[in-house]
Chains A and B, each alone.
Chain A
Amino acid sequence: MASRTAASGAATPPPPAPDGLALAVEAFGFAWPGADAPTLRSIALRLAPGECVWLGGASGSGKTTLLRAIAGLLPVGDARGQVRTRGRPALLLQNVETQLLATRVDDELDFGLALRGLPEAERRARAGRALGALGLAGFEARAVDDLSAGEKQRVVLAALLALEPGILLLDEPSSQLDPDGRRRLAECLGELARRGHALLIADHVLTPWADCVDRCLALDKGTLVASPRFPDAAARGPEPRPLAADAPVALAVDGLRASDGAGRETLRGVSLRVAAGERVHLTGRNGAGKSTLLRAVAGLLRPAGGRVRIAGGAAVPGRVGLLFQNPERNLFERSVGDEIAFGLRRLGWPEADVAARVRDVLARCGLERRAGRSPLRLSFGEQHRVALASLLAPRPALLLLDEPFTGLDLESRARVLELLDREQAAAGFGLLVASHDPPPAARWAHRRLALADGRLAP
């Protein structure tokens, strides 16, 4: 069988798929350069035009590699088997910010069309059609930086659609969207499928796409397997322990006001209490002010008014921990052990106590065997746990988590929930989680609050 080298790149379209198919993958395998084992093994996958397939699988199971293989965007590696598509494939990557290559919507759409050398009238017509198909008619002159996360993602998708691909590949399209953004995208994807586009959606969750998906598959350690129709239901987490009536206050926020850099008021008088041992889940759309609230509580930005007390005192390192969305931002030490020790050393703990606490935290977080490894060489899920462990180490009175489940597969989410439950039982910190999603396990939090327009909804 003719083997396509994976280095063919975007400039060379894959060989055409057999009649009546949008995609035909046969006995495809791939190993990344320098890897011990192949990431993908003997993959067979066929998609008809207008068909929408959901591809699940744990982190590291090879979803992104398979999408890149179909798009012809793998580096030179050990590739075998064959990938054939009808027309050029288009791939929507995970991070929308780095896919926006221009500052205005029309320039964004024109980027790829100009590279094709199409005449200007044709370019404008295609851009207009693509924007219309994604509910963005009239957006041509808008600045991309002013758009919401969902609109940005649909602009990138429109830019791909304007190139008239034979198949659309989407890599974790739900991860940066709030439920509203997902609903809009799901509607658009359903419409694209009805118009005859083949769609392959790789995502940790199926629910947002359930209405437009025809078939569910999953990757398991590089092999394609049939997936149960609704795997999301598997997300489980321990239920909260009853709170003592006299539990001390971990967080007291009164009348908090804050503005963003442009002077827009993002918090308009927020008051809130979190007790020691309590779990509060705060939801709200992208831009509702959740991140601003967490940063103001952590003392990282100066509020315009109001008061924040953490365990009766000010927000200082050690007393409050904040986990940011991307664990890479937290990690810099040579080893996982040093990473966890960093904050303790800065708090002036004696070295013997630091060593004992680091051993303790590593064991509690299931990281003993990673103690000597470089944090940057770990998987995303492990990096996430190292960042969390380094926040837990100084025994904070309050832990703040900003979108802690983004990019984690269901198993990793359940692990994080269990870890937090165990640590909370042992240390009794207050926990405030901000997310545009409900908790991964329905009954995990003591209380759920919603932030809208800078105010807490009752």
Chain B
Amino acid sequence: MSGLGAGPVAGQAFHYRDTGSALHRLGAGWKLLAVATFGAAALAARGPLGLGAIAAALALGYRGAGLRAGELWQDARWLVVQGAIVVGLYLLRDGAAGLAPGARTALQLLLFFLPGALLLRTTPSARILATLRRALPERLAFALSTGLRLLPAFSRELHEIRMAQRLRGARLSASDLWRPRAWRDWVDCVGLPLVVRAIRMAEEAALAAEVRGLPRREESA
């Protein structure tokens, strides 16, 4: 085991950074439309050609927005981890035959979420919320925008949990990703506490919004 010491410093994944690019200035409505289109295309695409084209377009998007490769990696890395878990599950179910469909599903998931990450990188959340509010019911707009708002906090939480568990001996270093026996640790030692924390945070945010006057579901229904 490579041990400790190789962990990256806490970054701010999905975090808005103004570089003044054309993508930053583009209207939030157009960008939301593009996110939906790219997401749908990622789920619909089957062949390596289509998925490759989407990946290339996204890489160009990050570049065009003036973002650094390190920032793309920050946004993508937990999806890469998720991808490794997905491939692992396919291998467990189907053996070697599961490799190709597993890898495709993992790539689809990555390409489904990355457009959203690029949206967050290039659009202040208030603008996203204002745009969503015009198109969606109040509660749905709130749920979506708060989900986006809490993503950096989730990413910090993931980082903290991973550090705590690595120190207890969980196999969670980058080199462990290539060892299928270590994948369980991602699910047990990181996934479970993360879900518990995520539910807690979502409850708190909902309560905070209620304090400010967002109606409860049973009343708005």
Interface residues of A (CB under 8 A from B): 7, 9-12, 71, 73, 90-91, 93, 95, 97-104, 107, 111-112, 115-116, 145, 156, 159-160, 163, 258-262, 295, 298-302, 314-318, 320-322, 324, 326, 328-333, 342-343, 346-347, 376, 390-391
Contact = CB atoms under 8 A, between A and B. Distances in A.
A328 B196 contact: yes
B193 A329 contact: yes
Q: Label chain B's interface by main secondary structure.
A: helix
Interface of B: 3-12, 15-16, 124-126, 129, 145-146, 149-150, 152-153, 157, 160-161, 163-170, 188-189, 192-193, 196-197, 200-201, 204-205, 207-216, 218-219
10 contacts: A10-B212, A97-B201, A98-B201, A101-B205, A261-B10, A261-B11, A298-B163, A300-B5, A346-B168, A391-B168
B126 A103 contact: yes
A101 B11 CA distance: 21
Contact of B207 (A93, A159, A258): A93
A12 B15 CA distance: 36
A300 B210 contact: no
A115 B214 contact: yes
A111 B126 CA distance: 10
Contacts of B16: 103
Contact of A145 (B15, B216, B219): B15
Interface pairs A-B: 7 shortest CB-CB: A346-B169, A112-B212, A299-B4, A98-B204, A99-B208, A9-B216, A107-B126
Contact of B211 (A10, A95, A330, A390): A10
A123 B176 CA distance: 53
B212 A159 contact: yes
Contacts of A103: 16, 124-126, 149
B167 A321 contact: yes
A302 B3 CA distance: 12
Contacts of B161: 329
A98 B205 contact: yes
A326 B161 CA distance: 10
B211 A73 contact: yes
A255 to B, nearest CB: 17
A331 B161 CA distance: 9
Nearest to A346: B169
A332 B193 contact: yes
Given A98-B208, A102-B125, A300-B4, A328 B150 contact: no
A145 B124 CA distance: 12
Contact of B6 (A95, A302, A347): A302
Contacts of A115: 212-214
Given A101-B146, A316-B4, 18 more contacts: A10-B213, A12-B219, A98-B205, A102-B125, A107-B129, A115-B213, A262-B12, A298-B163, A299-B3, A315-B4, A317-B4, A322-B164, A322-B167, A326-B160, A328-B197, A328-B200, A329-B161, A332-B188
A258 to B, nearest CB: 8
Contact of B204 (A93, A116, A262, A324): A93
Given A10-B211, A298-B4, A329 B157 contact: yes
Nearest to A162: B212
